[in-house]
Amino acid sequence: MHIPDGILPASISISGYAITGGVTWYSLRRINKEKNPQEKIPQASLLTAVFFVASLVHIPIVFTSIHLILNGVMGIILGYYAFPAILIGLFFQAVMFGHGGLSTLGINAVIMGIPALFAHHFFQLRKAISPKQQIWTGIWAFIAGGGALAMSASIFAFIVLTNISPDLDAQTEQKAIYISLAGYTIQAIIEGMFAAMLLSYLQRVKPEILKN
């Protein structure tokens, strides 16, 4: 889901940086309004490292393999800390391992970071709508975690499909994107299950983590 350098026109890459700059500014503003803005820095640092390493752990699925993104989990746990945390993780992935690129860093942050914020807000709805039983925490976490990945895949597919280079075979590229979406559907289910198990466990042993 990382878009590499040289795929997108300069205007899209610049727009990605502009959106990322705006969302980062807004996220930091929301963080500074909290009672203790530094309280979640250790959690953010830990999950940034997990997000960074997760791209190296590939899970075999039939004829291909996937790796966890975990942007939904980061959004649920970190709230507005998630967007700058994902941006930092993407930067180091691009610099150290060539996952994505520096010219597309902004657009990749949009693809993975904005769904994380949606996951955060969606998960917070559980407080007003559903009972506080652990099973409901798992259900909301499954939808938020898997939904964030599905949203990221949809944004990724839309951006790539609408910006296919005329030098490439459009039909071949479209077919490859549609096939990748099928893989992301499986991945979204896996991420949702992981989020449900993790958040249900945290609800039981350390519920204060979820009070963001």
Question: Which of the pair, 181 or 118, is modelled with greater confidence?
Answer: 118
- pLDDT band, very low/low/confident/very high, at 167 (cuts 50, 70, 90): low
Collapse the DSSP code of 60 into the 3-class scheme (helix H, G, I; strand E, B; otherwise coil) and give the result.
strand
Instruction: Convert 162-171 to b/e letters by CB count within 10 Å (16 or more is b).
Output: eebeeeeeee
Locate 49 and state its tokens.
Answer: 């490292």
- pLDDT band, very low/low/confident/very high, at 64 (cuts 50, 70, 90): low
Locate 79 and state its tokens.
Answer: 């709230």
CA distance linking residue 179 with residue 101, whole number of Å? 23
Per residue in 125-145, pLDDT tens?
A: 887 776 666 788 889 999 999
State residue 84's pLDDT score. Answer: 96
pTM over 0.85? The answer is yes
State residue 158's pLDDT score. Answer: 92
Per-residue pLDDT, averaged over 185-207, amounts to: 89
Per residue in 86-128, pLDDT tens?
A: 999 999 999 988 888 899 999 999 999 999 999 999 998 887 7
Domain ranges of the chain: 10-210
- pLDDT band, very low/low/confident/very high, at 163 (cuts 50, 70, 90): confident
Strand ranges (DSSP E) for 48-143? Answer: 59-61, 64-66
Chain centroid, CA 32 distance in Å? 22
Whether 126 contacts 118, CB under 8 Å: no
State residue 119's pLDDT score. Answer: 95
Chain centroid, CA 156 distance in Å? 11
- pLDDT band, very low/low/confident/very high, at 34 (cuts 50, 70, 90): confident
Closest CA to 26 of 108, 105, 83, 106: 83
Lowest model confidence (mean pLDDT) among 60-64, 108-112, 161-165, 208-212: 60-64
Whether 210 contacts 79, CB under 8 Å: no
Q: What is the mean pLDDT of the chain?
A: 87
CATH domain 10-210 topology: Arp2/3 complex 21 kDa subunit ARPC3 (1.10.1760)
State residue 181's pLDDT score. Answer: 82
- pLDDT band, very low/low/confident/very high, at 169 (cuts 50, 70, 90): low
